[in-house]
Every structure is written in C-alpha cells, then in structure tokens.
C-alpha cells in the first residue's frame, strides 16, 4: 500500500477557498434556489424560497455574491422597481458540487439529525452550567 502524505492546506489554496464559499449558508442556498428556478429569479421569489433568511441577510448575501461575480443583478425601470438575479457562468460552475452535497445530505438525513441532537444536548448542558453559576 502506498504511503500517504499529509496534505498541507495553505491559506489561499483551492480547498480552503471552496470551503469558505460553501461554509456561508445562504450563498449555497441562493445558488441552489436560482438553479432550481431556471437560473433567474426575482427578489421576492428568492426570499420565499429561503425561509429563515431575513431581508437584511438576503440583501447582504446577494450583494456579496454579485461582488464575487456569482450572480448578476438587473433592475427594470418600472414602478414599483423590479429586480432580477441570475446565475453568471461563474455561478453555474458551483451548481454541480452544491447539488451533489445537497443530494448527499438528503440521503444521510438520519446521520445529520443525530449530529443536530448532539449539538442541542451540548448547548443545553452548557446553558444549564451557565445558569448554575
């Protein structure tokens, strides 16, 4: 069997950069939602597809994604204003791994649920310890 070597993950290496992108919860969800809606979506439809995401957080996420060139923003000159977001070619590059990750999560929901319960128990016991002080 070949000897395995430690992989050094430098600060600016590709694995760290992709994990940084994927670790931002709403970024991957916006990409998924845009993909699910054919690549283009209005602000209201995006908001409805992301329960739990505040308007402020959605706006911040969309601005960051636009700055990173993952999405384009188009404002139509109508009253009331209509804004539409669409995936850029760069944004489309990330769809495949996101969809793979989401599919894996759906197949492994039981294991993920156990992790969540463990975290809740840990948080609860930590909160009880604080209250006792």
What's the domain range around 19? 14-132
pLDDT at 117: 64
CA pair distance 81, 95, nearest whole angstrom? 29
CA pair distance 129, 26, nearest whole angstrom? 32
pLDDT at 2: 63
Q: Answer yes or no: is 81 within a domain.
A: yes
Q: Answer yes or no: is 119 within a domain.
A: yes
Helix segments in 37-108, DSSP class H: 43-49, 55-67, 89-93, 95-107
Q: Answer yes or no: is 3 within a domain.
A: no
| pTM (two decimals) | 0.76
Q: Give percent of the chain with pLDDT exceeding 90.
A: 60
Q: What is the CATH number of the domain that holds 118?
A: 1.10.10.10
* pLDDT 10s digits, 4-33: 777 777 888 888 888 888 888 899 999 999
Segments in the chain below pLDDT 50: 133
Q: Answer yes or no: is 8 within a domain.
A: no
Total count of domains within the chain? 1
Q: How many CA atoms lie within 13 A of 15 on its CB side?
A: 4
| Total Cβ atoms within 10 A of residue 51 | 6
């Amino acid at each position: 069997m070949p000897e395995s070597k430690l992989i050094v993950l430098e600060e600016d290496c590709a694995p760290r950069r992709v994990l940084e992108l994927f670790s931002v919860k709403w970024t991957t969800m916006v990409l998924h939602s845009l993909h699910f809606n054919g690549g283009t979506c209005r602000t209201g439809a995006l908001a409805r597809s992301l329960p739990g995401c505040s308007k402020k957080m959605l706006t911040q996420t969309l601005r960051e994604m636009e700055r990173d060139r993952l999405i384009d923003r188009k404002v139509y000159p109508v009253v009331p204003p209509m804004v539409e977001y669409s995936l850029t070619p760069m944004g489309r590059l990330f769809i495949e791994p996101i969809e793979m990750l989401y599919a894996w999560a759906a197949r492994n929901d039981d294991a993920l649920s156990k992790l969540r319960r463990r975290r809740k128990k840990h948080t609860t016991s930590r909160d009880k310890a604080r209250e006792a002080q």
